[in-house]
Amino acid sequence: MDKLEVLKKRAEFLREELTRHAQLYYEQDSPEISDFQYDVLIRELQDIEQKYPVLVTPDSPTHRVGGAPREGFVKVKHKNPMMSLDNALNRDELASFYEKLSKSLEIRAPQVVCEPKIDGVAISLIYQDGVFISGATRGNGRIGEDVTENLKTIRTMPLRLNEALNGRLEVRGEVCIDKDDFALLNDRREEAGETLFANPRNAAAGSLRQLNPKITATRKLNIYLYQIIEPEKQGITSQNEIFKRLKKLGLPVQGEERTCNSLEEILLYLDFWTKKRFDHPIDTDGVVVKLDDLSQRAGLGSTAKAPRWAIAFKFPPEEKLTLIKDIEVTVGRTGTLTPTAILEPVHLSGTIVQRANLHNQDEIDRKDIRIGDMVIVHKAGEIIPEVISVDLNKRKNDSKPYRLPETCPVCDARAVRLPGEAALKCSNTSCPAQVKEGIVHFASRQAMDIRGLGDKIVAQLVDSKRIKNIADLYSLDILTLISMDRMGKKLAQNILDAIEKSKKRSLASLINALGIRNVGEKTAQELAERFRTLDALAKSSIETEYKLEMMDGIGPIITKSLNTFFTEPHNKAMIERLRIAGINFELEGPATNKEELPWNGFKFVLTGELSSMTRTEASEKIKALGGQTSSSVSKKTNFVLVGTNPGSKYSKAQKLGVPILDEEAFLDKLNELA
Ligand code: IVH
């Protein structure tokens, strides 16, 4: 085999593996490998495809991480126009729609299928011979925009269908983002001083229309399909069959549809979703009612804008009028002063709302929000309480425009607004509010995992001046801890043990724990892998900058944050104290190029008991040599390591002709490679 052949095989193997792991992760919720291991595999495939573009396939999972940015979107004409739906704004309008159906069809109670209406972005996907080849937005219904590369980054959208269909298949549905992910995305944007998305639909649309697919890849978009174009060509006769077929092909559907045979049933479904939508992960703005039978649909036809066989019942917008009792200003980890409206509590979209983030002075000025105002509130994307506008008729004569304080409400230091930023910041880096938030973050699970050290204890420790920064945690003693409110000896000892244990946390956890601006968990992991020691990352040199520049996903903003953090004298001193305390500053294990490891790409399955080591130890040794372990035997397994009393995996290996290693042969191999 020549080199290209070998790489082609390797690429095929990697693709299969990556697709399988993505399915385990996204569809079965039971990952076999860590996100990091997944990234290592995808990187390897990317490298191969970059060096040998002939080896790129249209369904390669590397498209999931996004290709090169483009200048603009290409316009595409939809073969069949993408229609809209007529709306029913209340129950009467829905009743008359159903009555009209009944009259036109001359059927007393036509069968319909109801489904939540997703407040997302309408999309059309085209599969050729079972492989995804292109996708477009609705645009004006006739002409949309080609967003193929961005769609490929949506991990729940199959790049290849379960069945190798012959010819062209067009399916349609909606791209959206979960409410939780929308909230997280906005949190991050706020932290980075970027403009916020108004609701999940805008976030989904903004992410899908990114010219740089790499950015799209970082957004957790979802897709749900509900329509097949020209279904009759596939022998499909109803909406229910459309859903079945979509599912069978591996295309994601909402799975919340209900077949109804009367207006009463439709109204019950509506009642159910009127409440359920508030704790549903996706933003829904109504319920779509569609005639089930496709031949009946054909008889009804469409208007220029919408089909006559379907209607969208729109939920009334949930808005309430309430009073702004006060505006509270808090200080976060990065020193940002955040104004929050304290509201007269109101029931809104399923919960009682008492606070709404007002973001910054510009937002307050734009809406002219004042203490004592009556305001209209709603939940953006059914999740984030937001003041929409002020009812000026109810404004008191003596009300005054609101201004954020000129000094930090916690430490009284001057609050400054940097040019080009919307946020006002406390200028004192040792401001107790910033210090507390920073320590709580340092101790959090994804960081140094110091269990028991919650915000209340941190607040007491900082307020009583027992600790001033994270390094002080490592000189805490039991007497100091016990002197805190509601602290028993046992809890104090547990905290000390957790602090001790934290010294061995991974380099990635430490980098994340330091709370460097714009450096979260994932970036910290990548930095740890690339730099391997904290000192290498902290060193201010051309080499560091060059290495950062060469990293994917690290731009000038992160580089600048790192530089600012590591050159700040207080931080330098604190890092020295962490070193003296014995915190791990290094990535475990020697630097390795995975491709060069002897068992790179080899898959092992272990069964039975070993005498010289445990199965976990054996797995670790395999992984250290670049191999992988899996729990089931398949043709792709390279070796099955068999101990005493093996299980059915042994007989399966024999049946499939997979090479079998006993413990002795395994140890020999290890010795050979040592
Ligand atoms: S059926 C002829 N089902 O809402 C179009 N549409 O406001 C048949 N939408 O154009 C559409 N969720 O983009 C259907 N479960 C759902 C939907 C849904 C959202 C969108 C779709 C439609 C728009 C109308």
Is 561 within 8 Å of 519 (Cβ atoms)?
yes
CA of 273 to the centre of ligand 1 (A): 16
- Residue 414 β-bridge partners: 407
Place of tokens 């990952």: 31
DSSP readout, 415-426? Answer: EEE-TT---EEE
- Tell me which H or E stretch contains 245: helix 239-248
Q: What is the pLDDT of residues 357-385, one digit of tens each?
A: 999 999 999 999 999 999 999 988 777 89
Instruction: Report the distance separating Cα 293 and Cα 295, nearest Å.
Output: 6
Alpha carbon distances (Å) from 669 to 630, 631, 663? 19, 21, 10
Fold of 319-416: OB fold (Dihydrolipoamide Acetyltransferase, E2P) (2.40.50)
Fold of 75-314: D-amino Acid Aminotransferase; Chain A, domain 1 (3.30.470)
Q: Is the pLDDT of residue 93 over 60?
A: yes
Is 379 within 8 Å of 343 (Cβ atoms)?
no
The mean pLDDT of 394-399, rounded to a whole number, is 92
Q: Is the pLDDT of residue 594 over 70?
A: no
Question: Which band of pLDDT confidence, cut at 50, 70 and 90, is reported for residue 80?
Answer: very high
Distance of CA 415 to the CA centre of its chain: 33
Instruction: Report the distance separating Cα 95 and Cα 88, nearest Å.
Output: 9
Estimate the share of the chain in helix, then strand, then coil, as percent rounded to the nearest 5.
40, 20, 40
The one catalytic residue among 79, 117, 214, 248: 117
Residue 1 is predicted with a pLDDT of 67
User: What φ, ψ does residue 224 adopt, rounded to 5°?
Assistant: -130, 135
The pTM (predicted TM-score) of the whole model is 0.61
How open is the CA angle 587-589-590, to the nearest 5 degrees?
Answer: 105
Instruction: Report the distance separating Cα 439 and Cα 460, nearest Å.
Output: 12
Q: Which of 108-117, 122-131, 595-604, 662-671 has the lowest mean pLDDT?
A: 595-604
Residue 589 is predicted with a pLDDT of 58
Residue 29 is predicted with a pLDDT of 56
When mean pLDDT is compared over 41-50, 223-232, 316-325, 559-568, the highest value belongs to: 223-232
Token digits for 156?
A: 């729940």
Which amino acid, 215? I
Question: Which band of pLDDT confidence, cut at 50, 70 and 90, is reported for residue 626?
Answer: confident
How open is the CA angle 173-179-180, to the nearest 5 degrees?
Answer: 135
Could you give the 3-state DSSP secondary structure of residue 541? coil
The mean pLDDT of 430-435, rounded to a whole number, is 89
Give the homologous superfamily in CATH for domain 3-63. Answer: Helix hairpin bin (1.10.287.610)
Look up the CATH number of domain 594-673: 3.40.50.10190
Fold of 432-581: DNA polymerase; domain 1 (1.10.150)
Q: Is 85 in the pocket of ligand 1 (CB under 6 A)?
A: yes
Residue 189 is predicted with a pLDDT of 82
Residue 68 is predicted with a pLDDT of 61
Residue 547 is predicted with a pLDDT of 83
Average pLDDT along the chain: 89
The mean pLDDT of 322-348, rounded to a whole number, is 94
Residue 650 is predicted with a pLDDT of 87
Q: What is the pLDDT of residues 491-517, one digit of tens each?
A: 999 999 999 999 999 999 999 999 998
Token digits for 212?
A: 């740089």
Is-catalytic flag, 117? yes
Q: Is 49 in the pocket of ligand 1 (CB under 6 A)?
A: no
User: What φ, ψ does residue 273 adopt, rounded to 5°?
Assistant: -75, -20
Q: Which residue has the higher pLDDT, 71 or 351?
A: 351
Residue 25 is predicted with a pLDDT of 66
Q: Which of 24-28, 268-272, 480-484 has the lowest mean pLDDT?
A: 24-28
Q: Which of 34-43, 74-83, 332-341, 350-359 has the lowest mean pLDDT?
A: 34-43
Report the candidate in 218, 211, 183, 212 with the shortest Cα–Cα distance to residue 198: 183
Token digits for 163?
A: 């069945």
Q: What is the pLDDT of residues 181-191, one digit of tens each?
A: 998 888 888 77
The mean pLDDT of 83-108, rounded to a whole number, is 93
Report the candidate in 222, 294, 229, 284 with the shortest Cα–Cα distance to residue 253: 222
Pocket test for ligand 1, best of 87, 121, 138, 174 (most atoms within 8 A of CB): 174
Q: Is 288 in the pocket of ligand 1 (CB under 6 A)?
A: yes
Instruction: Report the distance separating Cα 37 and Cα 144, nearest Å.
Output: 38
Q: Is 83 in the pocket of ligand 1 (CB under 6 A)?
A: yes
Residue 211 is predicted with a pLDDT of 85
Pocket test for ligand 1, best of 86, 176, 226 (most atoms within 8 A of CB): 226
The mean pLDDT of 154-163, rounded to a whole number, is 92
CA of 582 to the centre of ligand 1 (A): 59
Which amino acid, 29? D
Residue 36 is predicted with a pLDDT of 67
CA of 278 to the centre of ligand 1 (A): 20
Q: Is the pLDDT of residue 399 over 90?
A: yes
Q: Is the pLDDT of residue 206 over 70?
A: yes
Instruction: Count CA within 13 A, CB hemisphere, residue 551.
Output: 23
Residue 198 is predicted with a pLDDT of 79
Residue 276 is predicted with a pLDDT of 92
Each domain of the chain, given as residue ranges in start order, spans 3-63, 75-314, 319-416, 432-581, 594-673
Residue 70 is predicted with a pLDDT of 62
